[in-house]
Amino acid sequence: MKNFNIFNPVKIIFGWGVIKESGKEAFYLGKKALIITGKNSAKKTGILEKLIKLLKENMVDSVVFSDITPNPKSDEVDEAAEIGIKEKCDFVIGLGGGSVMDAAKGAAIVLKSGGNLWDYVALPGKKAKQIDEVAPIMLIPTLAATGSEGNPAAVFTNSKTQQKTAIYNPLKLYPKVSIVDPSLTLTVPPKQTAEGIIDIIMHVLEEYLTGDTDCDLQDRISEGIILTCIENAQKVIQNPEDKKARTNISLASTVALHGLPNAGRAGAWVVHPIEHAISGIYDNIAHGSGIAAILPSYLRFLGKVKPEKVKQLSIRVFNADEYSDETELIEVCAKSFEDFIEMIGLKNNLKDSGIEKNFLGKIADKVVEVSGIPSIIKNKENLLKILNNAFESKY
Ligand code: NZQ
Ligand code: ZN
């Protein structure tokens, strides 16, 4: 296990109905909020109206920008920030899924540090502009998935170049307060609920699979998060209004990327950069769907180059017989995820997700261009192998 520091300064207010705290908390952040939402859900569910009212009751004025699309584009964030500057907003509230919360982080950067959002994105051969100051941020997730509410990352797409990547800045990008009210997730449709669940699992799986192998506590926490997601996925699919299941999934989402589960591991993130290349090119593919299509193929690849944790997962999470041989244990893990992905209503391969075979090379090129080849994958040939094996489910 590597030495590590954890400094997570986000005040997290968690629980059923805690949205009522948002006005009081906002009072301490500023006088006028730039509220950022997606195009539809926050208005349709009535939560935007409720938030504005809670702010007013606490003498906080607000202006709304509601044009953020899933896989948020950097120019949408620039537009939001421009409105915030014009309206003299002194803090930002993101009310929505990960796309909206990330957009709120981006707008908070541009609001205070100026320029365009893409200036702050680093790429191989492109140095990012330094973030001087960031407006205070409050996040209110309406979908359990990214954990953006408790981490210092935000992911953006440049629609001109089809590059999708993250700004990660633990010194500047943590929200001040996050209001995590699972009741807001009751209206999330089955597909987005499932995409969120596989994303949460992947947030602990990336480093569990590839990082230092002696992280016993982190392993157990990660397995707990995965099992919580699997067990509650079944419940929420049977009954989307299951309050307990929605609450457990929301907590798993916030905790997965909150610090401790991945601390000390120094693992390689692999499925995420591949997925970001996919949804950077295919804007209609949601992050969770892209992950679901790649994960089984990745597990089979990893089973050949670093099998220890794939086997452990097979035994501890999927109850495989510990005396089975290695090939069998790896197959149990990959197949169990394939079945789980199908059970929650997602596609477990690229073809069924709508990806054309002749785009696999372009996806690999984008991974290299934006993130570089993950260390465990070693070379582009292996990357293409994972993509080709993910194209069709052969099992
Ligand atoms: O856009 P609206 O109208 O709000 O509708 C959204 C959107 O269509 C809808 N939705 C959200 N809350 C709802 C709801 N519908 C009904 N009821 C509600 N309560 O769900 C759809 C998807 O929303 P989106 O925000 O795009 O989903 P998600 O939370 O999965 O966020 C995905 C984005 O976050 C990035 C992804 O790459 C992607 O761009 N990520 C951000 C991370 C981070 N900041 O730490 C880490 C992740 O790994 C991820 O990369
Ligand atoms: Zn993710």
127 with 89, same domain: the answer is yes
The verdict on 162 and 217 lying in the same domain is no
Atom of ligand 1 nearest to the CA of 45: 17
pLDDT tens profile 11-22: 999 999 999 999
Q: How many CB atoms lie within 10 A of CB 322?
A: 11
Q: Are residues 146 and 231 in the same domain?
A: no
Asked whether 142 lines ligand 1 (CB < 6 A), one says yes
pLDDT tens readout for residues 21-75:
999 999 999 999 999 999 999 999 999 999 999 999 999 999 999 999 999 999 9
Q: How many CB atoms lie within 10 A of CB 244?
A: 12
pLDDT of amino acid 393: 74
Instruction: Measure the CA–CA gap between 107 and 30, rounded to whole angstroms.
Output: 15
Atom of ligand 1 nearest to the CA of 192: 20
- CB of residue 289 inside a 6 A radius of ligand 1: no
Q: Are 15 and 22 in contact (CB under 8 A)?
A: no
Q: Which of 185, 219, 236 represents a domain boundary (last residue)?
A: 185
The whole-number pLDDT of residue 223 equals 98
Angle at 33 between CA 31 and CA 35, to 5 degrees: 165
pLDDT tens string 106-155: 999 999 999 999 999 999 999 999 999 999 999 999 999 999 999 999 99
Instruction: Based on the fold, state whether residues 254 and 287 are members of the same structural domain.
Output: yes
Is residue 129 domain-shared with residue 213, that is, in the same domain?
no
CATH number, position 336: 1.20.1090.10
Ligand closest to the CA atom of residue 284: 1
Same domain for 200 and 171: no
> Which residues of the chain register pLDDT less than 50?
none
User: Can you give the CATH number for the domain in which 142 is found?
Assistant: 3.40.50.1970
pLDDT reported for residue 395: 56
What atom in ligand 1 is closest to the CA of residue 41? Answer: 3
- pTM to 2 decimal places: 0.98
Is the domain of 338 the same as that of 285?
yes
Answer whether 70 contacts ligand 1 (Cβ < 6 A): yes
pLDDT at position 161, please?
Answer: 97
Question: In terms of residue numbers, what domain contains 123?
Answer: 11-185
- Report how far ligand 1's centroid is from the alpha carbon of 12 (Å): 19
Does residue 155's CB lie within 6 angstroms of at least one atom of ligand 1?
Answer: yes
Amino acid at 44: K
Domain assignment present for 238: yes
Alpha-helical regions (H) of the chain: 22-27, 41-44, 47-57, 74-86, 98-113, 190-210, 216-238, 243-256, 271-281, 287-305, 308-316, 326-343, 360-370, 380-391
Which residue is closest in CA terms to ligand 1's atom 42? 146
Q: Is residue 3 part of a domain?
A: no
Number of domains in the chain: 2
Nearest ligand 1 atom to alpha carbon 203 = 48
174 shares a domain with 100: yes
Residues 112 and 240 in one domain: no
Please indicate, yes or no, whether residues 163 and 195 belong to a single structural domain of this protein.
no
